Amino acid sequence: MGLDSAHLSARIRPIRVYSKGFTMKHVFVLLSAVALLVAACGNSTSGNAVGQTSAGSTQPVERAVGKKAWYDGFEITVDKVTAKSLQDSQVQIDIALTYRNLINAAHRPGFDGTDNDTGRVGHLEWKDDSSDLEFTSPKIPGLAIGQGTAKREITVQEQFANLDQLLDTMVLVYGDTATNQTRIPFGPNGTVVTEEPRGISVGQTIGSGPTLQLASAYLWPSYAPGEKGKHELWIEFTFSCAESCGDIFYQGSAWTLTDPNGQQVHMDDRSPAVYEQPGPGGKTGSSYAVFVLDNVPSGTYTLNVKGTQDTIEFDETTQLQL
């Protein structure tokens, strides 16, 4: 209510006693009751609490987060988060995000290279509750940076003293407990849970007429369902011809990667297929060979590449250090 002493003095007028039974003791009791009422109004927190018993609304709370993690081919930074109390127990959450595309191909968060929805998007967790998010994510050119957002109107079941306390419990989560998960907390003391991709040194050129160039390689966790603990090795490559050559087709299923212990895996079918026609001195666009590894022992890996160029069989081997 916010009544000050001047306001009170203007409202409390001298009390005239008309009854013999009304004494100064009664006056003291009356003034004490007024004082308690004023104190209760001054200490009220109505309108500041967040949750099922909150009333009214508060000013939005904007918090700089600045924490980064990695997921599904992107470095993801939570730039800031904004919370605004609505009516009853509803709170609007808005998240500003920055994405850095780690591969040399246009890619949209939550989608594969051909714009098929992978379902691998984040969700919001707080206290003992969670909610999906509505993402606005651009298609980001290879190795470039783009901005995105996520938002949701949530129902807060628990009682929080204020919006800051609510944000302290919130985490942006990619993946579920059965997959390799990434977790980005909004609280200043929260620890990011993620695995940073590891760049693999490549640059080899193998074969002749055509030749194959290994341009880059990354090792990061697999984010596919049922592959918790597994990793993906992504190898970027191009084919080129010194002279005019016809179609180039690589037989992905025939490519193999052998680890230092002799364990061999074939290129996974999540690798994009390639069938291109480079011109004279031409070069195909970048493509990726993807291998799924149960374990990643350190050491020398042998990559065997097979394909065809017209009637020429392409069968070459090179080595990688992981």
What CATH number is given to the structural domain containing 221? 2.60.40.1240
Tell me: do 207 and 301 sit in the same domain.
Answer: yes
- Specify if 30 maps to a domain: yes
Can you give the residue range of the structural domain that contains 38?
Answer: 5-42
270 in the same domain as 215 = yes
Boundary-marking domain end, from 157, 185, 213? 185
190 domain residue, yes or no: no
Higher pLDDT among residues 65 and 161, named by residue = 65
What pTM value is reported for the model? 0.77
> Within this chain, do residues 212 and 286 fall inside the same structural domain, yes or no?
yes
**Residue 54 falls inside a structural domain:** no
Higher per-residue confidence, 286 vs 32: 286
Q: With 60 as the cut, is the pLDDT of residue 43 above it?
A: no
Residue 49 lies in a domain: no
Q: Is position 137 within any domain?
A: yes
Same-domain check for residues 212 and 288: yes
Please state the domain count of the chain. Answer: 3
Which whole number is the average pLDDT over 106-129?
Answer: 87
The answer to whether residues 80 and 117 belong to one domain is yes
In a domain, 47, yes or no: no
Q: Confidence band (pLDDT; 50, 70, 90) for 252?
A: low
SS3 string, the chain, reads CCCCHHHHHHHCCCCCCCCCCCCHHHHHHHHHHHHHHHHHHHCCCCCCCECCCCCCCCCCEEEEEEEEEEECCEEEEEEEEEEEECCCCEEEEEEEEEEEECCCCCECCCECCCCCECCCCEEEEECCEEEECEEECCCECCCCEEEEEEEEEEECCCCECCHHHHHHCCEEEECCCCCCCEEEECCCCCCCECCCCEECCCCCEECCCCEEEEEEEEEEECCCCCCCCCEEEEEEEEEECCCCCCCEEECHHHCEEECCCCCEEECCCCCCCCEECCCCCCECCCEEEEEEECCCCCCEEEEEEEEEECCEEEEEEEEEEC
Kindly state whether residues 81 and 169 are assigned to the same domain. yes
Average of per-residue pLDDT across 104-119: 82
**So what's the pLDDT on residue 303?**
96
Which pLDDT value is given to residue 208?
77
Residues 65 and 181 grouped into a single domain: yes
